[in-house]
Each structure stands twice: as structure tokens, then as C-alpha cells.
Structure 1
């Protein structure tokens, strides 16, 4: 893009999104306090009494409760994180924290991950309050810190220290899901109903220290390299959960494909980049992310270390661990560092019907499809309370874009029309669920 047509925000949701992006909340560098204050101010103006709760100085979470018309119903939890991943301005068309509105998009870090959802929630609740309307049931709103670094000061901390705020919630919506995928006859809207589990496999190879010029049959670096390679290249078997099976069936129907369960990778090619997300959930994955050994150029170290990022298909965690252990030789020790269990939730008729109706009111071709997420979100924390967690950030995406690359990518941006669409869908959903 050589020139950009800059525009002024024409709606509250666009302004909120732009202003939130300008508040740099890069995880590990900038605290979330300023964004939390921004959110709390607008929630207070919408008649709520927001709580500001800090898991560490400046690592601020905001929790508020919006009263519904039928308070006897279990409350709905709506959660979104305020932090973002780092962004190097050198590679961007615009400054990543400019919040620039141009060419029909809001640009900047967090535009899709996930200050867009924060902005949509703020727009919905402030508009409802101004119109004297209320959601059907009570809605617990949680705007949390630290999701991008595991939620230690955010959702994880909240459920350990303030779980009473969520005790009566039975369903939650958050990231990632709700976005559209174009088909020959309309749009699929992917609803995240499952997530893979995550843990780190720490490996330590033990050997014999010595001079690099000598033969050494107990070389720790060599033993570690063989082990890491064996794990990285291992062909883990296909594991189709009920969620993934349903996704493939509906994908086949929408695109006129047969045998989607027999050759799921081929079927996923039909949906382009989005297929990368679902494709990573067909099997367990074990990805080397760190290696550490030695230092001097002529010394064989006595130990070498590696770290493997492991993602387990929900319901098959023990099988995955057993298979990994079989790949580790006696001279290599291992330990597992849990980072969040996987989960898979059934989509009951009432919830599915309400989400579908909200989508159909804006897109008559909409079709709701469940999918499993390859990575973890704050749902891993809230699900520990027995809450059924779903990924639903409703966005009708413009044609031709690569939405998947926007997550943690360069030139992250969200379409103005998508924000407006999502706000209308979210408003209908809260009013009727």
C-alpha cells in the first residue's frame, strides 16, 4: 500500500479500538494499567461498578457485572485481554501503536488480538445503557492482563484470588473464533468449542565432559540432538475429536468435498490460511523451541538442554505423554511443565441457536461451525472453574485478506465494517441469550 486514505472514526467502536491500540500494553514491557483505567471509566459511565484488581503492580484486571432482565439465569462470562505482543515499528506500514484509521481499517498491534473485542464490548454495553436496555441474563465482564504471557497476573490470578466473581457463571465467550470463512454459497462462522492442551517438555542430556578433539561416545550434545530430532520428526497419529469431525463434515458439505475425514489435510486446503489453525489440531504436536549447551569452542559439555512446546489433542493427553517418553533414551532426562489443559465443550441447542440467530440477522448466509483451537487462550483458566468456554469474537471478514497472519503479525489491522458487524451481532446475542 503506497498511499492511505486516512479517515476519522465514525462510530464509537472504531474510536474505542483506535484509542485502545494507542495505549501500548506490550506484555513484559508496558503494564496494562492505562488500558484498564480506560475500560473502567467507560464501564462506570454505563452504570456499572468496575473492580480494578492487580495481580502485580500495574498488571491491572477489570471485572464488572451488568444486570440482566432475568437474574435467575446463570450469568454469562465475557472476557478479553488487554495486553498485546511486541511489535517492531521498522517492519510496519504504520506505527504499530498509532491506531490509525485508514483505507477502511483500524491499524495497529492488538487490532485483532484482541482490542477489537474490548472495543465491541464497550460499544455494546454503553449503547445498551444509553437506550435503557439490558441483556437477558447478568453478564460478567472481565478485561484481563497478561494473557500473552500465560495469565499469571491476569485470568490465572483472578481464578485463584477472586473466583467468587465468576462462581455462578456457566458459559463464557472470549477469543479466538466467530470470524467468517467464505464458501461458494455463503459464509461459515467458526466457533471455538475446543482447545488443545499445552505443556513444555524440558530435556536434559547427560554425558561426559571432555576435549572437542577427542572421541567421545558420551557426548551430551549429540544425545540431545538425536532426541530432539526424533521427537520433532515423529509422525503422531491422526486424532479426530468430535469437534474436529463435525468441522470436517460441515466443511465437506459447504465445499462439496467427500472423504474429508479420510484426508483432512486435503479438505483443509479449501479454506486457505484458516486451515493452518485447524490442521494443527488433527494430531499432537511437539515443536523444539530452545537449545542450550556448552560455550567454549573446544569443550564437550557434560550436559545439554532443550525445550519442546507440546500441544495435546483434548482427551488424549496421557497417550501423548506415553508416546513422547518412548522417544527419550536413558541418557536424557525429562520433566513436564504444564501450561493449561485442553478442553472440549458440547454446543447445546440453545446456545447454538442464539449465536446463529444473531449472525443470521446480519448475514443471511451464515452457518455456525465448531472448531478446535491449536493454541491456548484464557479459556484454559476459566474452564478450571467448570465454565464451558467458547471462542466467539464475531467478525465478517472482507474478501482477499489473510486474517490468520494478523495474529502477532506485521501490519495487524481490522476492517471498520467488521467491527460494526461484530458489535451488532454481539448486541443481539447478549440481548437474547
Structure 2
């Protein structure tokens, strides 16, 4: 972000609407290209920061969600903007759950709409581990702290600002722009994108393509290094391990103690790994990363694993090197993470049953039942059985890289960060984008704030934060993408 008006920058600093960039990445958010027509960078930075602070202050921790308050905030901003139609979609079963749809009408539309989506709910926060109040937006040392700053209120705030800026140019637009803010993305009842598709598909279903969270813009050594555009994502499952044994008085140790068997089984499955499998997205992902990788061993492994005609033995050998990085490992295979352990009810009673939950993120074309069978083979305990919680899901096809929206995302990235490498990306997490792909709307994921690893890994963790200059960068990125694809 560049602010050339020194007096304006000074005023923003004094008002708390701007903060100095974090010291380790002074240049990451400086865009040397001229600002796009119609966008005032200083205003976009200040406005988006204000919106994000307001959104963080609206507690939408899920459960219970209470997204209605955020939907009303969006409505209050957009309903007076000429050319924008707004709808608050309350969920009948719970009046505090709601989705929000706004549509910027082009004066003379000639193409199908482009949709931009983000979710209003956030995960919970262990407030004892936070340096600040998780739901009080706090600027400290160049960062804005608060739950949702990254996931996903930062994108919502940036999109809100970009939409208002575009509304002033709607005479130039040749397609409508739909802003879709969802409920319930972070789990629980299906009150969000699936509910809207079922009950109000007419409001979003004519979109040609969509932009959502899910990708990454990664900063290293003070520069934007990669722009990862999500074209597909892993599929979310829970697998339950149940151990059974003889219960009794704790004063008489029993050899078939259910919790002991459970502990041994989950340790083995934790160490087990699913086979390596590449798809079109992940092969191209490693191929392009190899062009910028500094570590010689990692570079060679990326080149080998993405080479045309690589044998399975070559792929496995390369994967052994790449898997040293947890993020690369998660892209290479279906992953299983131990997340819950449950057993026992008193210290002096041996329980007859114990349970553990593994959260499994499966490759889009993975056979989840085969994965569960493999987990049962790996656990090595007759007393323990692994079972799938729910039914297998059908993963939607990946979004193609040849669409106008993907090309606009590439173009904006190369203009704003010329030295960055743009790569298609398979998200290891689940997003609302899968629901749109399933109904035939190609959907591309991006978290538009450039982030160092340290900040990206705070997502869903303690002390979630975003570098303040990254907020304006995000707004400009979304604005550029939408303006290119809609004019």
C-alpha cells in the first residue's frame, strides 16, 4: 500500500485508522503499480479497516453464530448505495441465524454475474490464551488483533469496500456483482450456503463463477512470494475410534483396559500415513513452487514429484522429502489428525469404553471407506474399531484455470506483486466453495491479505491478527479482480 499524501497519512495514524507496517515485512504490502481507476488507496485502507474493526466487535462465535447482527450491519452500509439491492435471509428455525445477499446491478449487463462470498461466523476463542480481548478489535505494533481478522471478516470487509467503490462505476459494468455473506461455515446445523441454495437459489444461482476464501497469499523475507488460488479442496470427515474392555474397580488392574488399548491404537494411527496421490492441481502446484524454492533438496523433490511420467517409486521418494514440511505433507495425501479423546468418569473406576475422534481431510477423489479400513489395519488392537461418522460425500470437480475470473486473479496478483509466483492450490481445509462447485458454479479461493506463515498459522488459533497494511492490499486486490472481470 502506498499513501502519497503525507498529511492524510498522518491524520489516519492519529485517528488509529492506520498503523506502521510490522518491522519484518516492510515492503510486502507496497504496491508500486499505479492505483486502478476508481480506487483511492488511502480511502480504501481506512474504510476497510473501520469495517473490519466493526465486524470483529460483533461477536459471531459459532455456536451460537448470531450472524443476524452482521447481516444487519452490511444492510445498513449497502441499502443506501445506488444500484445495490440487499436481502437479509433469516433462518426460520433460529431468528439469530441469517445470511446476507447484496446485488450490484450493472446498468447494461451483457454477461452473467460474478459472485463474491465470505462467512460471517467465527470459531470460538480461548480468552485465557489471548493477549487482547478476542472480540475487541485492538491495534498493536502494526497488527489488528481480533477473532475473525483473517477468517473471514477481513475478506468481508475488503469486499464491502470494493463493492461500494464499484457501485460508483456501474455504468461501466457489463455484469452484476453479487455479495454473499454466509452463516454457519464453521460447523453446526446447515444454516448457511446449503440452506440458501435450497431455499433461495434464485439469488445466487445465475452466477457464472465465484470468488471465496480458501487460497493464500504468502509473504516471505518481506515480499509476496506466492499467490495460491484455490481450485479444489479436501473433503471433511470425522472417524471415531471406539475401544471396549472389561470395566471394574481401579484397585484391580485389568489386561484388557479399554483406555490402554485406545491409547495404543491412536498412537499407531497418528503415526500412520495415507498413500501419496497427486491430482492436476497439486502436480502443477509443486511444479511452479519448484521455480522459486531455495532449499536444494526441496527443489529437487518438487521437480521430481511433478515430472511427467514419474514412477510411483520416484513420487514416494520425493514425497518423503516434501513431507518434512507439514503444509506440503497435507497437500500430498489424505490426512488424519487426532482431535478428541473421551473416556472414563471417575478416577477409581476402569471404564468399559473409550472413544477418540480423528478429523480426516480426504483428497477430493479419495475412497474414504478404504481410508477407514486402512486405519483399522494400522491400529493393531482387536478391542478398537474405527468407523466413519456419517456417509461418504461426493466431491465436486475442480474449478478450471481457464476462466475469465481465474485469469483476472492471476493478472491482479502479477500487477500488485510482480515477483510472486501464482499457483493453483488445493485447500486442506473445507470451505463454502464446495457447495457452489457442486451446483456448477466454478469457485476460486483466495485469502486476499498477504500473510507471513506466523500470522497465517494463527487462523483458528490464539491471538488471530492481520498486518494493518495488508487490509488495504486485500481491498485493492478484490477491486482489481472484480473490475477486470465485470468491465
Measured after TM superposition, the shift of residue 232 of structure 1 is 1.8
Cα deviation digits, residues 120-153 of structure 1 (max 9, x gap) = 1110111122344564422222111221225622
1:364 aligns with 2:402: no
Query: What's 1:272 paired with?
Result: none
1:59 aligns with 2:97: yes
Question: Is the alpha carbon distance of 1:160 and 1:87 closer, same or farther for their aligned partners in structure 2, counting shifts above 3 Å?
Answer: same
1:40 aligns with 2:40: no
Measured after TM superposition, the shift of residue 213 of structure 1 is 4.8
Query: What's 2:388 paired with?
Result: 336
Measured after TM superposition, the shift of residue 420 of structure 1 is 1.4
User: Residues 184 and 255 of structure 1 are in contact (CA less than 8 Å); yes or no, is this contact kept in structure 2?
Assistant: no
* Structure 2 CA distance for aligned equivalents of residues 419 and 320 of structure 1: 40
Measured after TM superposition, the shift of residue 242 of structure 1 is 2.0
Question: Is the alpha carbon distance of 1:184 and 1:138 closer, same or farther for their aligned partners in structure 2, counting shifts above 3 Å?
Answer: same
Query: What's 2:196 paired with?
Result: 158
1:23 to 58, 64, 67: 58
* Structure 2 CA distance for aligned equivalents of residues 185 and 97 of structure 1: 30
Measured after TM superposition, the shift of residue 112 of structure 1 is 0.9
Query: What's 1:141 paired with?
Result: 179
User: Residues 312 and 342 of structure 1 are in contact (CA less than 8 Å); yes or no, is this contact kept in structure 2?
Assistant: no
Query: What's 2:441 paired with?
Result: 387
Measured after TM superposition, the shift of residue 37 of structure 1 is 0.5
2:432 to 378, 397, 415: 378
Query: What's 1:8 paired with?
Result: 16
Measured after TM superposition, the shift of residue 396 of structure 1 is 3.4
User: Residues 105 and 415 of structure 1 are in contact (CA less than 8 Å); yes or no, is this contact kept in structure 2?
Assistant: yes
User: Residues 107 and 411 of structure 1 are in contact (CA less than 8 Å); yes or no, is this contact kept in structure 2?
Assistant: yes
Matches within 5 A, 1:195-210: 195-210=233-248
- Partner SS state of residue 96, structure 1: coil
- Could you tell me the TM-score, scaled by structure 1's length? 0.86
* Structure 2 CA distance for aligned equivalents of residues 300 and 89 of structure 1: 34
Measured after TM superposition, the shift of residue 353 of structure 1 is 2.2
Tell which deviates more after alignment, 181-190 or 28-37: 181-190
**Residue correspondences, number:** 422
Q: Where do 5+ consecutive residues of structure 2 fail to align?
A: 1-12, 18-42, 306-316
Query: What's 1:263 paired with?
Result: 318
* Structure 1 CA distance for aligned equivalents of residues 269 and 414 of structure 2: 45
Cα deviation digits, residues 369-419 of structure 1 (max 9, x gap) = 11221111222333332322221232334xx66232231233322223222
- Partner SS state of residue 243, structure 2: strand
What's the RMSD between the two structures over aligned residues? 2.9
* Structure 2 CA distance for aligned equivalents of residues 93 and 293 of structure 1: 33
Query: What's 2:31 paired with?
Result: none
* Structure 2 CA distance for aligned equivalents of residues 66 and 278 of structure 1: 39
1:316 to 366, 370, 394: 366
- Partner SS state of residue 338, structure 2: strand
* Structure 2 CA distance for aligned equivalents of residues 129 and 85 of structure 1: 32
User: Residues 342 and 355 of structure 2 are in contact (CA less than 8 Å); yes or no, is this contact kept in structure 1?
Assistant: yes
Tell which deviates more after alignment, 352-361 or 181-190: 181-190
Query: What's 2:466 paired with?
Result: 414
Cα deviation digits, residues 288-340 of structure 1 (max 9, x gap) = 22222332444433332222211112212344234234346664444322496
Query: What's 2:115 paired with?
Result: 77
Measured after TM superposition, the shift of residue 119 of structure 1 is 0.7
Query: What's 1:291 paired with?
Result: 341
Measured after TM superposition, the shift of residue 80 of structure 1 is 0.6
* Structure 2 CA distance for aligned equivalents of residues 21 and 141 of structure 1: 19
2:351 to 297, 301, 311: 301
User: Residues 175 and 393 of structure 1 are in contact (CA less than 8 Å); yes or no, is this contact kept in structure 2?
Assistant: yes
2:273 to 216, 230, 235: 235
Q: Where do 5+ consecutive residues of structure 1 fail to align?
A: 270-274
User: Residues 184 and 191 of structure 2 are in contact (CA less than 8 Å); yes or no, is this contact kept in structure 1?
Assistant: yes
Cα deviation digits, residues 48-87 of structure 1 (max 9, x gap) = 2221112322112101222246645333221111112223
* Structure 2 CA distance for aligned equivalents of residues 170 and 314 of structure 1: 23
1:112 aligns with 2:150: yes
Question: Is the alpha carbon distance of 1:231 and 1:91 closer, same or farther for their aligned partners in structure 2, counting shifts above 3 Å?
Answer: closer
Question: Is the alpha carbon distance of 1:297 and 1:89 closer, same or farther for their aligned partners in structure 2, counting shifts above 3 Å?
Answer: closer
User: Residues 185 and 254 of structure 1 are in contact (CA less than 8 Å); yes or no, is this contact kept in structure 2?
Assistant: no
1:425 to 477, 480, 486: 477
- Partner SS state of residue 142, structure 1: strand
Cα deviation digits, residues 178-202 of structure 1 (max 9, x gap) = 4134489963211112211111112
